[in-house]
């Protein structure tokens, strides 16, 4: 369920675990995640070097809330690579695996989909990237089986610049 809309995940968790979450669960969850990020979040090994090596504009396209995106980037020291190119499903109203979130980002930045690359670490993002008509790279850090046609799977960020080329 990595990358899915939180509101879609919660009913599944309730059903699978035969529980009823409290009405304030989402707010409490977000507060805990913010505190954990502040205390423990670290950038993926090699991501800063990969971003530095890649030419062109970059964006974050996430199913998470905009404030969470900004917080994570600030903590990891990666904000400078993206500027204002931050696209949240909560702002756009489109959640992965709908390709519309990537298409919106490309259009907002002035690019045609076929001239864009998607780098995602979850199956729903990979699916959205492929369906958007973009070259799609799966950051497969857990070495999961990936049979999606047209997707380039890689295990370490240091591989990315060579895969994409400049």
The total of structural domains in the chain comes to: 1
**In-domain check, residue 37:** yes
Query: What does the pLDDT read at residue 130?
Result: 96
Contact 116, 72 (CB under 8 A): no
Domain that holds residue 33: 6-164
Q: How far is residue 3's CA from residue 126's CA, in Å, rounded to a whole number?
A: 10
Tell me the per-residue pLDDT of 16-32, one tens digit each, with 9 for 90 and over.
888 898 888 988 888 89
Q: Tokens in use for 54? A: 């890649």
Average pLDDT over residues 123-140: 95
**In-domain check, residue 157:** yes
**In-domain check, residue 1:** no
Q: Within a 10 A sphere around the Cβ of 22, how many other Cβ atoms?
A: 9
Average pLDDT over residues 125-142: 95
Q: How far is residue 47's CA from residue 25's CA, in Å, rounded to a whole number?
A: 32
**In-domain check, residue 75:** yes
Identify the CATH number of the domain in which residue 111 sits: 3.40.50.1000
Query: What does the pLDDT read at residue 82?
Result: 98
Tell me the per-residue pLDDT of 22-71, one tens digit each, with 9 for 90 and over.
888 988 888 898 899 899 999 999 999 999 999 999 999 999 999 999 99
**In-domain check, residue 88:** yes
**In-domain check, residue 62:** yes
Tell me the per-residue pLDDT of 63-104, one tens digit each, with 9 for 90 and over.
999 999 999 999 999 999 999 999 999 999 999 999 999 999
**In-domain check, residue 40:** yes
**In-domain check, residue 103:** yes
Q: Which residues are within 8 A (CB) of 11 and not within 5 positions of it... i.e. 6 or more apart?
A: none
Per DSSP bridges, beta strands 86-88 and 117-120 are unpaired
Task: Give the chain's length.
Answer: 166
Contact 106, 113 (CB under 8 A): yes
**pLDDT-derived band of residue 3, with 50, 70 and 90 as boundaries?**
low
DSSP 144: -
């Amino acid at each position: 369920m990595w990358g899915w809309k939180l509101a879609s995940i919660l009913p599944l968790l309730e059903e699978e675990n035969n529980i009823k979450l409290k009405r304030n669960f989402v707010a409490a969850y977000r507060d805990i995640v913010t505190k954990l990020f502040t205390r423990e979040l670290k950038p993926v090994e090699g991501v800063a070097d990969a971003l530095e090596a890649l030419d062109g504009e970059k964006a974050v396209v996430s199913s998470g809330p905009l404030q969470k995106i900004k917080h994570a980037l600030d903590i990891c020291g990666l904000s400078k690579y993206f500027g204002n190119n931050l696209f949240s499903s909560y702002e756009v109203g489109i959640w992965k695996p709908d390709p519309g979130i990537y298409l919106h980002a490309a259009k907002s930045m002035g690019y045609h989909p076929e001239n864009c690359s998607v780098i995602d670490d979850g199956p729903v993002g990979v699916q959205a990237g492929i369906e958007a008509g973009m070259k799609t790279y799966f950051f497969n850090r857990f070495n999961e089986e990936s049979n999606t046609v047209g997707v380039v799977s890689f295990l370490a960020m240091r591989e990315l610049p060579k895969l994409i080329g400049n």
